[in-house]
Amino acid sequence: MRTKPHHWGLLIRRIVRGWWYTVHLGAVALVLALSPSTYHRDMRLSTARHLYVNTWQVLPWFTLLASLVSLVIIRIVVVTAISYGLSHYAIEMVVRVLVLELIPLTAALFVAIRAGFQYHAADILAVAAKAPDDSAALQARLQRDLVPQVLANTFAVLSLAMVSSVVVLVLAYLVQFGFSPWGMGDYTRTVGRVFDPTVTIGFVFKTVFFGLSVAVIPTAAQLEAQRLRRARKSNVQPGAVGLLFVLFMIEAASLLIKYI
């Protein structure tokens, strides 16, 4: 359905208002997450439960799946590099493409599909619907339901990305040098040259931002739709398009900072 030109201003205001609400909700969640008073016994138990469900239950088979796919890609890259006489660039290409870019993005999308898009904000929506002006009740509900989800999704993205990256680094060495220890010197120098302090800090921050986006954006979209009484039946999860947009913008910004 096309928007008529005289409705463009209203559409832009609606988009800006939606993104502002998302940023505001994320800021509130971060403040609550950093507040010591948040972590009472019930909150710790809820956070531990979310961490177990979002991370530990899926870590082994996600790592296995990522390793199998990565092994195929590594083999293709190494064989191609050797055929062109560029074998000394194969490991660096694998690290830069797989470890720095594809694995964190894949982990974020996986957590979004499994946890972020399946997260039901029914209790929060009920509070917002019954008492839209009762900020204390809404904040209490956010503290109880949203903060554990933010912490768990952020930790899940970090854990899946880090563990899978370590496994891929081991596989890259085995594909390139086999079980011989004599390639360790060249391998560690290559990996260390890629993971300089700036790249390492950027990798961690990018993964953390991925986790925060996965946790906040779908919930903010549902709350905003309820708050504006604009909830409609749709085959697309609220916030899905916005989340994909933010993830790819974070990825694009990371590439610009590193390579331009």
H-helix segments, 178-239: 184-194, 197-227
Whole-model pTM above 0.85? Answer: no
Closest CA to 52 of 144, 156, 154: 156
Mean pLDDT score, 128-134: 47
Specify the DSSP element, H or E, that contains 170: helix 147-177
pLDDT for 117: 52
Radius of gyration, CA atoms only, the chain: 22
Tokens of 70: 């990565």
The most confident of 34-48, 111-125, 161-175, by mean pLDDT:
161-175
d(CA 168, CA 68): 9
**Domain ranges in the chain?**
5-259
Mean pLDDT estimate for the chain:
79
Neighbours of 7 (CB within 10 A): 11
Say whether pLDDT at 234 is over 60: no
CA angle at residue 163 from 162 to 164, to 5 degrees? Answer: 95
Neighbours of 178 (CB within 10 A): 10
pLDDT for 72: 93
pLDDT for 216: 82
Neighbours of 209 (CB within 10 A): 21
pLDDT single digits (tens) 152-187: 888 888 899 999 999 999 999 999 888 888 889 889
Q: pLDDT tier at 130 (50, 70, 90 boundaries)?
A: very low
Say whether pLDDT at 135 is over 90: no
